[in-house]
Amino acid sequence: GSITTADGSALVKLGNTTVICGVKAELAAPSVDSANKGYIVPNVELPSLCSTRFRSGPPGEEAQAASQFIADVIENSRIIAKEDLCIANGKLAWVLYCDIICLDCDGNVLDASAFALLAALKNVQLPSVTINEETGLSEVNFKQKNPLIIRNHPVATSFAIFDDTLLIVDPTAEEEDLATGTVTVVTDDEGRLCSVHKPGGSPLTGAKLQDCITRAVTRHKEVKKLIDKVIKSIKPK
Amino acid sequence: DRGPPSPSPGDTSVLAGLYGPVEVKGSKELPDRAALEVLLRPKVGLPGVMERSREQLLRRTCETVVLGVLHPRTAITLVLQVLSDAGSLLSCCLNAACMGLLDAGLPLASLFCGITCALDPHGAIILDPTTRQEQDARAVLTFAIDSAERKVLTATTRGSCSVEEMQQCLVAAQRAADTIFQFYRDSVRRKYSKS
């Protein structure tokens, strides 16, 4: 991956928008009410270096809304079954910290973040962990690594709406500023909807929304092919 | 300028307080329109990332209907306090927001209402689900429907569903919107017939 110190990483460029995602895996005890599940913790950062719109300091509203969006995509699409992250029921599980950082914001950060997350998770190699029966301690074997089981491939497609007549896919920052609304559709491998995210903005008829969804389904196929091609081309270490 | 209505489907209730248009401090000032701000306070605990995400959704929904260009260089603040949550919280917030805007007498392009649809494991559509129904559902979709042409102002979904199911939920939501708009009409009529 792009980040050598991370367990999995990916750098995505959608036009000028550049987003990097690093996945770090740590061990933790699972929570009491879901003893057989691990955790996936996404965090989207929009630092001041990516655009003049953002000031340095605590995460602003857009970063927090983007983090919530990515968390929803992970949850809705079941990209990874949290049960797969469990090593020993009730005792040990993996926590995947997914840090998504925008390096250059030229619009459509949500789509780029979702792609970066998907590609990074496909790139993750987790060391195998066994629990020593006698001591009860965990033993990590860094020489034997396994990839994550990715169950679904959600792809986000964003549209900028202009007065409910014009829809532009993958808007740039300038187009987003001038747009009267945005809508993001997340589809999965089976053509099902994982998310329709339309936070306000110009109203759309059901037919126009259907139009967006149809295009999103087509785009899903193209993006999945591209991600598969890139993952295959990575030479294993 | 203040509007404190609290509509409650079942036992979910949200109190909305609207302040504005008032003077705005420094950097938040927009030269050509009113600056809208939404604050969502959960019942318990401090507002987190989920609340920020919902605040952005509510703010953008209100910005679409409020004729902010009539009040440039002012601020309009909408504070929503969750009093109790028994399911369909987001649509309750949307309804509270719209009634707050109505009560305060702000100029609006249209009204909107929030409707939550849940798809249970058998594929049946449940409108305004309870917390239990939301948890058991395959997918929960929340729409904000506008009053002018019943178009979709806002949409947000949880869980996954097929495209046909989403369209069915949308149609059901558009039909249910009529009831809510009638409720708005009756509430406003009641308020002004008292004097």
- 3-state DSSP assignment of residue B17: strand
Q: What is the rounded average pLDDT for all residues in chain B?
A: 90
Pull the structure tokens for residue B149.
């042409």
- Residues for chain A: how many in total? 237
Asked whether the predicted pLDDT for residue A234 surpasses 80, the reply is: no
The shortest C-alpha distance from A79 to chain B (Å) reads 12
Mean pLDDT of A210-232: 89
Per cent of chain A over pLDDT 70 is: 99
User: CA of B104: how far to CAs of A149, B75, B99, in Å?
Assistant: 53, 14, 8
Both structure tokens of A177: 């500023």
A197 close to B (CB below 8 A) = yes
Q: What is the pTM of this model?
A: 0.91
Q: Is position A111 within any domain?
A: yes
Mean residue pLDDT of chain A comes to 90
- Per-residue HEC secondary structure of chain A comes to CCCCCCCEEEEEEECCEEEEEEEEEEEECCCCCCCCCCEEEEEEECCCCCCCCCCCCCCCHHHHHHHHHHHHHHHHHCCCCHHHHEEECCCEEEEEEEEEEEEECCCCHHHHHHHHHHHHHHHCEEEEEEECCCCCCEEEEEEEEEECCCCCCCEEEEEEEECCCEEEECCCHHHHHHCCEEEEEEECCCCCEEEEEECCCCCECHHHHHHHHHHHHHHHHHHHHHHHHHHHHCCCC
| Residue A124 clears pLDDT 50, i.e. is over it | yes
Residue type, B114: G
Helix (H) or strand (E) holding B16: strand B13-23
User: Residues of A with CB below 8 A from B50's CB?
Assistant: 68
Across the interface, whether the CB atoms of B60 and A181 are under 8 A apart is answered yes
Q: Which domain holds residue A77?
A: 8-234
Q: How many CB pairs under 8 A join A and B?
A: 109
Residue in chain B nearest A207 by alpha carbon: B167
- Is pLDDT above 50 for A122? yes
> Chain B residues within 8 A (CB-CB) of chain A?
49-50, 52-53, 55-64, 141, 144, 146, 148-149, 151-163, 166-167, 170-171, 174
Cβ distance of A206 and B161 shorter than 8 Å: no
- A1 within domain boundaries: no
pLDDT (0 to 100) of residue B5: 53
Pairing relation of β-strands A39-45 and A92-104? parallel
Work out the average pLDDT over B82-97: 92
- SS3 state at B53: helix
Residues A68-115 pLDDT 10s: 999 999 999 999 999 989 888 888 899 999 999 999 999 999 999 999
pLDDT digits (tens, 9 = 90+) for B113-124: 999 999 998 888
Domain extent listing, chain B:
13-193
Q: What is residue A11's predicted lDDT score, i.e. its pLDDT?
A: 93
CATH topology of domain B13-193: Ribosomal Protein S5; domain 2 (3.30.230)
Count how many domains chain A has.
1
Report yes or no on A168 lying in a domain.
Answer: yes
Contact of A174 with A160, CB cutoff 8 Å: no
- For B146-180, write each residue's pLDDT tens digit: 999 999 999 999 998 999 999 999 999 999 999 99
Does residue B29 carry a pLDDT above 80?
Answer: yes
CATH assignment of the domain containing A148:
3.30.230.70
